[in-house]
Structure 1
C-alpha cells in the first residue's frame, strides 16, 4: 500500500513538472504566432503593390517571356516543388497534412518531380513517397531568419533550373485559418506565362491617375519579377510558421487538458489509497485495544 502511494506521489510530481513544460511551450507558441501573423499582414500591402506594378508594366507592352528555360534541349518535363514543414515535433498532424497534400497534387502532374523540403520532419514523410528529394533547409526560428532562407532557396532553385528545364515550379505550405486552424495550399511560381501576365493586367488601378513606367520597362519588369518571387516564398514561409505555431498551441492545449485530467485521477487515487491506509491502521488499533481489553478481563 505504501509503495503504491509512493509511486503515485512520483507520478503526480512528474505530471506537475510536465505540465509546467507544456504551459511554457504553449506561451511560447502563442507569442510566436503573433509575430508571424503580423509579418503576413505586413506582406499583404507590399504584395499588392508589386502586383499593381507588374500589371502596369504588362499593360504598356505585349506579354513577354520574362523567365524562360535556359536550354530547350535539356531534360523536359521536370517539375520543381518547395514544401514547407517543421523541424520540431508536437505539432499534431501539421507535417502529415502538407506532405499528403503535396504528394497527391504532384502525382497528378506529368513528368519527373524534384522536391526541396524546408523542415526535417516533413522531409521524412515526403521521403516515403516516390518523390525525389534534392535538398533540405532548416526552418527559420524568427521573422528575421526568413529572408536569408528565401535567398538560399532561390539560389538552390536557380542552380537546379540551370541543369534542367523546369516546366513548372510549385510551393506548398499550410496557411492559417480563423480559430487556430490551418489548411494546405499551393502556388505555382513558374512559369510566368501569358495567362499569369493577363491576370495581372486585369487588376484595376486603385486611382484615376494611370501609372507610367520609367527607367526602361524591361529593367523595371525584371526588378518587379524578382520581388514577386521573393515575396511569394517569404509569405509562404511566414504563413507556414504561423500555422505551425497554431498547431503546436492547439497540441499543447490538448496536452494541458489531458494532464489536468490525469492529475485529478492520480490525486483521487492517492487520497483513496491514503484513506484506506488510515482506515487499516485504525482497524489495527481498535483490534489491538479489544484484544487487550479481553486479556485484562480474563
Structure 2
C-alpha cells in the first residue's frame, strides 16, 4: 500500500526523469536543425552533380557504358552499407531499418556482405542472420560526417580494386517532407549501365545541348568523385536527421507519459494526505466528545 513518503519519493523521481527527458528533447531539437540544414543544401548540390554527369553524357554522346571487367570466375559479392544509430531512445528507427534491409537485401542474388554504421543496427542485423564485416561509429556532429564518408569510400575502392565486392547498396532512413521518416535503398556502385539509366531520370532542364569546357577526363573524374562523396554524405546526414527526429518524437511521448504519471501520483498523494488529515481531525473530535461526556 502506498504511503505519503512512498508517493513523495515517486513524485520526486518522476520530476527528475522529466528533467532528463526535457534535456534530451532540447538536444535532439538542436541537432535536427543542423542536419536538416545540411540535407536541404546537399539536395541542391547533389542535383547539380547529377545534372553535370547527365550533361557529360549528352555532350560526349555516350549511349551505353561497357560492363566492368573482373569477377568472371568469382561468385558475385554484394555489399549493403547500412546507416543506423549507436544510441537508444530512438523509437522504431533501428528496427524498421533492420526489417527493411532484411526484406530487400535477402531478395538479391549473390554472396552478401554488410557494412554497418552504428552498433545497435549491427546487433539487429545479426538477429536477422547477416554477418557484419565492418562497423563504423555514428558521427556525433556534422563535422564528423566527412571523415566517416572518406573512410567508407576508401574501403569500397579497395574492395573493388581487389575484386572482393562487385555491387554496393546504401540503406538509410530519409526524412519525410511533413514529419517522420522512411527507409530507402540506393544502388551505389558500380557505375555501369544501370547506374547511367537511373541517373538519367534527372532530365536536362533546357533544350540547348551542354558543352564541356576543359579536358574531358579530368571533368568526368571530378564529377564522379563528387557524385560518390555526395551520395554517401547525403545518406549519412539524412539518417542523422531521421534519428534525431525519431528521438524527438520518443522524448515527446515520454514527456507526455511522465506528465500523466505525475498527475496521477499528485492526485493519489493529495487524496491520501487529505484522508490522513481527516482521520486526525476525526480522532481529535472523537477525543473531545469523549472528554465532554466524562
Shift of the 258–126 alpha-carbon distance from structure 1 to 2, 3 Å rule, reads same
Task: Please give the TM-score of this superposition, normalised by the length of structure 1.
Answer: 0.92
CA deviation after TM superposition for structure 1 residue 74, in Å: 5.9
Task: Indicate how the Cα distance of structure 1 residues 291 and 212 shifts in structure 2: closer, same or farther if over 3 A, else same.
Answer: same
Q: 1:202 to 1:157 in 2, by over 3 A?
A: closer
What's the CA shift for 1:201?
4.7
1:283 alignment partner in structure 2: 282
Cα deviation for residue 143 of structure 1 reads: 1.4
- Counterpart residue number, 2:33: 34
Classify 1:156/1:137 alpha carbon distance in 2 versus 1 (closer, same or farther; 3 Å): same
Q: Distance in 1 between matches of 2:236 and 2:153?
A: 13
Identify the residue that residue 145 of structure 2 maps to in structure 1. Answer: 146
Partner residue of 1:81?
80
Q: Which residue of 1 aligns with 2:211?
A: 212
Query: Where does residue 105 of structure 1 map in the other structure?
Result: 104
Q: Aligned equivalents of 1:291 and 1:118: distance in 2?
A: 78
Find the aligned partners of 1:261 and 1:148 in 2 and give their Cα distance: 44
Q: By how many angstroms is 1:215 displaced?
A: 3.4
Preserved contact between residue 56 and residue 210 of structure 2 (Cα < 8 Å): no
Q: 1:201 to 1:276 in 2, by over 3 A?
A: closer
Q: How many residues align?
A: 292
Question: How far apart are 1:202 and its partner, in Å?
Answer: 6.3
Unaligned runs of 5+ residues in structure 2 are none
Map of 2:42 onto structure 1? 43
Q: Note if contact 2:145-2:233 (Cα within 8 Å) is conserved in structure 1.
A: yes
Give me the whole-angstrom Cα distance separating, in 1, the residues matched to 2:267 and 2:233: 51
- Superposition pairs for residues 31-180 of structure 1, below 5 Å? 31-59=30-58, 60-62=60-62, 63-65=64-66, 68=68, 71-73=70-72, 75-180=74-179
Q: 1:182 to 1:198 in 2, by over 3 A?
A: closer
Matches of 1:194 and 1:164, distance apart in 2:
19
The corresponding residue for 1:271 is 270
Provide the aligned C-alpha RMSD in A. Answer: 1.9
Report SS of the residue matched to 2:181. strand
d(CA) in 2 for partners of 1:119, 1:165: 23
- Larger mean CA deviation between 192-201 and 86-95 belongs to 192-201
2: CA distance between counterparts of 1:8 and 1:178?
A: 44
1:221 is matched with 220
Task: Compute the TM-score of the two structures, normalised by the length of structure 2.
Answer: 0.93
For residues 169 and 202 of structure 1, the distance between their equivalents in structure 2, rounded to whole angstroms, comes to 20
User: Structure 1, unaligned stretches of length 5 or more?
Assistant: none
- Stretch of structure 1 that moved more, 91-100 or 223-232: 223-232
